Amino acid sequence: MPQMTDERVRARLREEDLSLLHEVSMKTAGVSHLEMCIQCGTCGGSCPSAMDMEHTPRMLFAMLRAGMRDEVLRSNTPWLCVSCYHCVVRCPQEVHIADVMYTLKSMAIQAKLYSDSTAPHFSQTFVDMVETFGRSFEFGLASRHYLRHFPLRLPGMLPMGFGMITKGRMAITPKKIKHMDQLKSILKRASQLELTS
């Protein structure tokens, strides 16, 4: 057993530290029920992308309870969540698992603790487009994202992109909402707020 773990266990014996679990639960929209996890593993067993995850959701929640902040935020698990909500409807404790995953993503971005930047960059690019135009802009998003992360996929994607454009399914110029200034001031104010209670 590595020294560090040993010391952490001793610390746990002195005073159970559930601050990480509470922090995540608090930052999650709705009432997360995260504290109620009974480690049954239904979530991992229901997950369509569990095969590619470093930790199943069950493991991740145990790690939160154990205060393993770095390991949790570095895990690829939240980034592989496809938001299919299979686990959410099957969880006997009604934990808002998908929403906890969203919280973990935002915490990992804030702490800059992710191992693969593809997913965070994609989310950020999407959000940039929305914050600029008020609407999603698929052509801008796809071209920027693929050039940055999948340049080798581009040649194979060309027929698809060409088909989407010629069939009128992808505009090469963005659409903008009328009251962009209103949306910008809402988002600016929102970014200064945090969910604390």
Partner 1 sequence: MNKYILYPGCSMESSGKAYGESINTILEPLDLHFEEIDDWNCCGATEYLGINLIPAYSLIARNLALASKQMNGTRTVVAPCSACYLNLAKADYYMQERPSLGVKVNEALEAGGLSYVPGTLDVRHLIDVLVHDVGVDAIQKAVVRPLHGLKVAPYMGCMLPRPDYQHRWTDHEHPTELDDLLRALGADVIDYPLTTECCGGHMTQIGPETAFELIMRLVADADERGAHLMATVCPMCQMNIDAYQNEMNHFFKTDYHMPILFFTQLMGLAFGKEPGEVGIGTELVSARNALAHIGIEVPVTHEPAAPRKKDEGLPMPRRWTKQEGKEAVK
Count, residues near partner 1 per rule CB under 8 A: 73
The Cα–Cα gap between 5 and 182 comes to 50
Using the minimum distance from each CB to partner 1, give the nearer residue, 6 or 150. 150
Of 58-117, binders to partner 1 (CB under 8 A) are 78-80, 82-86, 88-89, 98-99, 101-103, 105-106, 109
Q: 184: which 2 tokens?
A: 């910008």
Say whether residue 164 binds partner 1 (CB under 8 A): yes
119 is an interface residue for partner 1 by CB under 8 A:
yes
Does residue 157 touch partner 1 according to CB under 8 A?
Answer: yes
Q: Pattern 39-68, binding to partner 1, x per CB under 8 A?
A: ---------xx--x----------------
61 vs 91: CA distance, rounded Å = 13
To 10 degrees, what angle do helices 118-133 and 97-110 make? Answer: 90
In angstroms, how far is the first alpha carbon of the chain from the final one?
Answer: 38
Q: How far is the CB of 41 from partner 1 (least distance, A)?
A: 18
Residues 130-149 touching partner 1, rule: CB under 8 A, are 130, 134-136, 138, 142, 145, 149
At 69, which amino acid appears?
R
Rounded CA separation 95/155 (Å): 43
Question: What is the C-alpha to C-alpha distance for residues 197 and 107, in angstroms, rounded to an integer?
Answer: 17
Stretch that binds partner 1, among 16-24, 36-44, 66-74, 168-176 (CB under 8 A): 168-176
